[in-house]
C-alpha cells in the first residue's frame, strides 16, 4: 500500500514551477491608446543582491491589447508574472473613447490576479504615470501608487476603486463606477480629481471637494476632512471682527450616517437623501467667539445650509454627465417590486429624478479650545 502511494506521487509528475526570482513581477501596468495603437507599460521588479532593488519599466505598442502583452514578454528574460499586480492605470483617452471593461475583464478572468487591484485613470496618459520615477520611500511606482490610492480611499474623499468594486458597479444597473484620476505634478503622480464613468466610459471628472459628497452619499464611509466656506452673514453672532465675506471652517468627519429612500415613484422618481454628520472643528479661517452650547447651533445650521447647496450642485453636475455613481438607480431598482430596471430606462428616468437633500450636522468637539 505504501509503495503504491509513493509510486503514484512520483508518477503524477510535477507542476511547472514559477520560482520567485525567475518571475518578472509586475506591480503596476498602464494602458493607453494613441490613434489606433495600444500602448502598454508595466513596472517590473528586478531583484538585486546588493540590497537596492530596482524596478524597471517596459513598454510596448501594438494594434491589439493582447499583442501588447506579447511584445512585453519579448523584452525580458523573466516570465512576466501578474500575480503581484497592485495598480492598473488606464489612459484618459482610452477610457473616454473605448471603455475599459474589456481590459478589466482580462484582469478579472486571470486567476493569478486578486480582486484588490486598484484601478485608476491617468490624465492625460497612463504610461507617463507608470514611467514616473518619483516614488517617495517605496522601491517602485506600483507600490507607491497602491499606497497612495489605498490611503486616500481609506481616510480621504476618494471612493475606493478596487477591481472588484469597479466590476461590481459596472454590472450594477443604476450605479456607475468612479476611479481616482492620477496626474503628474513635477513628475510625481498625485490624485487630483475623481474620474466619473458612465458604464465603463470616462465621462468627466469631479474635484476632490465634490468627491467628498459623492463618497458620502454613495457609501457613507469615512470621508475625511472637508473645508466648508460659510457666509459671514450666516454666522454673524459668532464673529468677533468682520473682515471679508467668507469664513472657512475645516471639519473632520467623525461619524456619518446617510440614508437615501425612494419616496415617490410616479410620475417621476423622487428621493429623499438625508445625511447626518458628526464632526469636529479643525480650523477656522478667522477668529470666532468661543463656541458654546448656546451658539453652536448657529454654526451647525450655517454649515448645513452650505453643505446642502454644495450637494445639490454636485448632484446637478452628475446629472449633466448622465452618470450615477451614488446609485439612485440601484435604490430605485431594489425598492420597486417586480421591476427589472434596464440601463436605458434608468437613463431616461434619471434626468427627471428629483432629489431632496437634508443635511444634519452636529459638532461634537471643537479641538482643545472652545
Partner 1 sequence: MWFTKKNRVDDVAKLLAHSPDFMCRRIRCQGKIVNVLFLSNLINHDHLQQNVLAFIHEQKHVSIDELARCLPIGAIRICETEKEMASAIRDGWAVISIEQEKRVLAVNIAEKVERSLEKAETESLVLGPKISFTESIDTNIRILRQNITDKHLVTEKVEIGERNKLEVRVVYIQDIADETNVQTVKQRLSELRIDEVIDSSVLAQLLDDHAYTIFPQYLLTELPDRLAYSLMKGRIGIFVDRSPTVIVCPTTFFSFFETTEDIYLRWTMSTILRAVRMLGIFASIFLSPLYVAVITYHYEVIPSALLLTIGESRSRVPFPPVIEALFLEFMIELLREAGARLPTKVGQTMGIVGGIVLGQAAVDAGFTSNVLIIIVALSALGSFTAPSYEMGATIRILRFPIILLAALWGLIGIFIGVSLLLIHLLKLTSLGRPYLSPVYPFRFADIKYSLIRLPIKFYGERPKTNRPKNSRRFSWREAMKRKDLDE
Partner 2 sequence: MKTPRERLSINAYLVFFLVHTVQIGLGIVGVQRVIFVEARQDAWIAVLLSGLWIHLVVFVICQTLKQTEHDNIFSLHTFVYGRVFGWMVNAAVVVYFLMAYTSILLGYVEMALTWMYPDFPLWGGALILVVLTVYALYGGGFRLVAGVSFITFFMAIWIVVVVFQPLKYAEWIHLLPIFEATPKQMANGVLKTAYTMLGFEVLYIIYPFVKEKERAHRYAQLGVLLTTFLVAVVTVIAIAFFSPKQLEVTIWASLSMFTIVKFPFIERFEYVVIPLWLLVILPNLLMFMWAMTRGGKALFHVKQKYLLFVFGPMSFFVAILFKRRATINEFIDQVGWYGFWLSFVYPFILYMLVKYKAWMREKKQ
Phi and psi torsions of 23, nearest 5°:
-90, 135
- Residues 24-53 binding partner 1 (CB under 8 A) are 25, 27, 45, 47-49, 51, 53
The item of partner 1, partner 2, none sharing an interface with residue 133, based on CB under 5 to 8 Å by kind, is none
Q: Does 369 bind partner 1 (CB under 8 A)?
A: no
Q: Pick from 241, 338, 344, 348: which binds partner 2 (CB under 8 A)?
A: 338
Nearer to partner 2, 37 or 112 (CB): 112
**CA gap 168, 105 in Å, rounded:** 12
Piece of 34-42, 76-84, 280-288, 347-355 that binds partner 1 (CB under 8 A): 76-84
**60 to each of 41, 70, 228, 362, how far by Cα in Å?**
6, 9, 46, 54
The item of partner 1, partner 2, none sharing an interface with residue 167, based on CB under 5 to 8 Å by kind, is partner 2
Do residues 110 and 102 lie in contact, with contact meaning Cβ atoms separated by under 8 Å? no
Q: Pick from 70, 83, 231, 297: which binds partner 2 (CB under 8 A)?
A: 83
Phi and psi torsions of 39, nearest 5°:
-130, 130
- Residues 116-175 binding partner 1 (CB under 8 A) are 139, 143, 146
Nearer to partner 2, 134 or 154 (CB): 154
Q: How many residues interact with partner 1 (rule CB under 8 A)? A: 28
Q: Does 2 bind partner 1 (CB under 8 A)?
A: yes
Q: Does 362 bind partner 1 (CB under 8 A)?
A: no
**CA gap 346, 148 in Å, rounded:** 34
Q: Does 8 bind partner 2 (CB under 8 A)?
A: yes
* C-alpha cell belonging to residue 174: 443604476
Piece of 15-23, 56-64, 123-131, 162-170 that binds partner 1 (CB under 8 A): 15-23
* C-alpha cell belonging to residue 178: 468612479
**89 to each of 39, 52, 136, 216, how far by Cα in Å?**
12, 26, 19, 25
The item of partner 1, partner 2, none sharing an interface with residue 162, based on CB under 5 to 8 Å by kind, is partner 2
Q: Does 114 bind partner 2 (CB under 8 A)?
A: yes
Nearest in space to 167 (alpha carbons), one of 223, 88, 230: 88
How buried is residue 299: exposed, middle or buried, by Cβ count under 10 Å (0-12/13-18/19+)? buried
Could you tell me if residue 35 is left (phi over 0), alpha (psi between -120 and 50 degrees) or otherwise beta?
Answer: left
Q: Does 268 bind partner 1 (CB under 8 A)?
A: no
**269 to each of 37, 203, 259, how far by Cα in Å?**
44, 24, 16
Piece of 7-15, 35-43, 132-140, 244-252 that binds partner 2 (CB under 8 A): 7-15
- Beta partners for residue 42, in sequence order: 29, 58
Nearer to partner 1, 152 or 178 (CB): 152
Q: Pick from 168, 231, 263, 364: which binds partner 2 (CB under 8 A)?
A: 168
Q: Does 261 bind partner 1 (CB under 8 A)?
A: no
The item of partner 2, partner 1, none sharing an interface with residue 229, based on CB under 5 to 8 Å by kind, is none
Task: Compute CA 358 distance to the chain's CA centroid, rounded to the nearest angstrom.
Answer: 25
Q: Does 81 bind partner 1 (CB under 8 A)?
A: yes
How many Cα atoms sit within 13 Å of 24 on the Cβ side?
Answer: 19
- Interface residue list for partner 2 (CB under 8 A): 1, 4-5, 8-9, 11-13, 15-16, 83, 111, 114-116, 162, 164-165, 167-169, 171-173, 175, 327, 330-331, 334-338
Amino acid at each position: 500500500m505504501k509503495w503504491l502511494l509513493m509510486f503514484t506521487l512520483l508518477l503524477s509528475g510535477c507542476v511547472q514551477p514559477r520560482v520567485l526570482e525567475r518571475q518578472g513581477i509586475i506591480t503596476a501596468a498602464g494602458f493607453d491608446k494613441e490613434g489606433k495603437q495600444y500602448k502598454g507599460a508595466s513596472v517590473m521588479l528586478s531583484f538585486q543582491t546588493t540590497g537596492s532593488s530596482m524596478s524597471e519599466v517596459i513598454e510596448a505598442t501594438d494594434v491589439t491589447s493582447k499583442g501588447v502583452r506579447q511584445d512585453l514578454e519579448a523584452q525580458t528574460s523573466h516570465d512576466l508574472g501578474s500575480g503581484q499586480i497592485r495598480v492598473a492605470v488606464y489612459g484618459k483617452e482610452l477610457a473616454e473613447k473605448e471603455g475599459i471593461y474589456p481590459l478589466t475583464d482580462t484582469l478579472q478572468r486571470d486567476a493569478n490576479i486578486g480582486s484588490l487591484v486598484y484601478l485608476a485613470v491617468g490624465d492625460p496618459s497612463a504610461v507617463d504615470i507608470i514611467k514616473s520615477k518619483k516614488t517617495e520611500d517605496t522601491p517602485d511606482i506600483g507600490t507607491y501608487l497602491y499606497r497612495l490610492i489605498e490611503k486616500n480611499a481609506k481616510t480621504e474623499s476618494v471612493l475606493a476603486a478596487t477591481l472588484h468594486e469597479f466590476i461590481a458597479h459596472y454590472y450594477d444597473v443604476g450605479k456607475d463606477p468612479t476611479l481616482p484620476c492620477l496626474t503628474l505634478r513635477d513628475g510625481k503622480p498625485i490624485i487630483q480629481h475623481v474620474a466619473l464613468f458612465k458604464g465603463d466610459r470616462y465621462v468627466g471628472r469631479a474635484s476632490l471637494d465634490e468627491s467628498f459628497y459623492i463618497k458620502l452619499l454613495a457609501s457613507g464611509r469615512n470621508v475625511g476632512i472637508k473645508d466648508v466656506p460659510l457666509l459671514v452673514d450666516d454666522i454673524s453672532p459668532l464673529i468677533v471682527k468682520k473682515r471679508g465675506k467668507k469664513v472657512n471652517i475645516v471639519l473632520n468627519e467623525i461619524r456619518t450616517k446617510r440614508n437615501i429612500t425612494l419616496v415617490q415613484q410616479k410620475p417621476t422618481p423622487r428621493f429623499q437623501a438625508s445625511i447626518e454628520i458628526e464632526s469636529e472643528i479643525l480650523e477656522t479661517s478667522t477668529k470666532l467667539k468661543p463656541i458654546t452650547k448656546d451658539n453652536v447651533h448657529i454654526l451647525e445650521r450655517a454649515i448645513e445650509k452650505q453643505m446642502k447647496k454644495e450637494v445639490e450642485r454636485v448632484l446637478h453636475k452628475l446629472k449633466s454627465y448622465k452618470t450615477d455613481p451614488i446609485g439612485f438607480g440601484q435604490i430605485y431598482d431594489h425598492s420597486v417590486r417586480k421591476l427589472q430596471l434596464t440601463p436605458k430606462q434608468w437613463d431616461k428616468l434619471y434626468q427627471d429624478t428629483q432629489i431632496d437633500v437634508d443635511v444634519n450636522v452636529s459638532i461634537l468637539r471643537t479641538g482643545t479650545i472652545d
